[in-house]
């Protein structure tokens, strides 16, 4: 009899050569800059199907660490990692 395992919704699994599923180990990125660089080079990693499954948006990174003003008269108050 096959034993069923509980699958976490936070887990990612990839099939191996035998067809078995192997859990991708969870680990933190070495730095925020490393994660921003990955998103910069691969904007398709940002999920679009959750916004519109029939016509998911395509993403294009314009700038990293883009400054956001708090009002019309002040300079950058906040920043977004990838704009």
pLDDT the model gives residue 10: 72
Per-residue pLDDT of the chain (83 residues; tens, 9 = 90+): 445 555 556 778 889 999 899 988 888 888 989 988 998 888 888 887 888 888 888 888 888 888 888 888 888 888 888 88
pLDDT the model gives residue 70: 87
Q: For residues 52 and 33, give the distance between their C-alpha atoms in angstroms, rounded to a whole number.
A: 29
**What is the pTM for the complete model shown?**
0.55
pLDDT the model gives residue 1: 47
Which residues does 65 contact at the CB level (< 8 Å), separation at least 6?
36, 79, 80, 81
């Amino acid at each position: 009899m096959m034993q069923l395992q509980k699958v976490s919704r936070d887990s990612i699994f990839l099939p191996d050569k035998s067809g078995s599923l192997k859990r991708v180990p969870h680990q933190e990125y070495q730095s925020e800059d490393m994660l921003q660089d990955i998103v910069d080079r691969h904007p398709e990693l940002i999920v679009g199907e959750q916004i519109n499954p029939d016509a998911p948006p395509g993403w294009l990174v314009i700038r990293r660490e883009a400054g956001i003003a708090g009002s019309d008269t002040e300079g950058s108050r906040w920043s977004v990692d990838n704009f």
